[in-house]
Amino acid sequence: MISSDYKLKKVLFRRKTSLEIISILLQLIPTGYVTTYKALAKVLNTNPRYVGYLVKENKNPIIVPCHRVIKSDGSLGGYTLNRRSLPEFKERLLRVEGVEVVNGRVPKNYIIDDIDSLIKNL
């Protein structure tokens, strides 16, 4: 039987590895574009909500541009900075980077759905 200590270590390792992968993927998204929680989840073979959790854990906002991740319907989703919810700041950052936001949504031409293509072009 596998000990609960082993299971906990395995979960913590997976979380740490997932955070590292998300950080790398976020840095691949070019300025002026966004991607979705769903697209990132596809790469990690996980749930978009888990990706949201990982993105929220980002300790280096701006350097690791978590503000470039939106919902698959084009809406912005949340944004937390220093444990404060600041969705309007997320919109401001995207606009500064050249992303158009219309009625709280990003038009499709700014959304990168195929993360694999970013990875292949490295």
Query: 33-57, pLDDT tens digit by residue?
Result: 999 999 999 988 899 999 999 998 8
Count of structural domains within the chain = 1
C-alpha–C-alpha distance, residues 84 and 53, integer Å: 15
Q: Name the β-bridge partners of 81.
A: 84
Three-class DSSP category at 9:
helix
Q: Could you tell me if residue 81 is inside a domain?
A: yes
Query: 78-104, pLDDT tens digit by residue?
Result: 887 766 777 788 999 999 999 999 999
Specify the pLDDT at position 13. Answer: 55
Domain residues for the domain of 103 are 7-114
- Written as six digits, the tokens of 17 are 């590895």
Q: Could you tell me if residue 37 is inside a domain?
A: yes
C-alpha–C-alpha distance, residues 94 and 54, integer Å: 20
Active site positions, annotated: 66
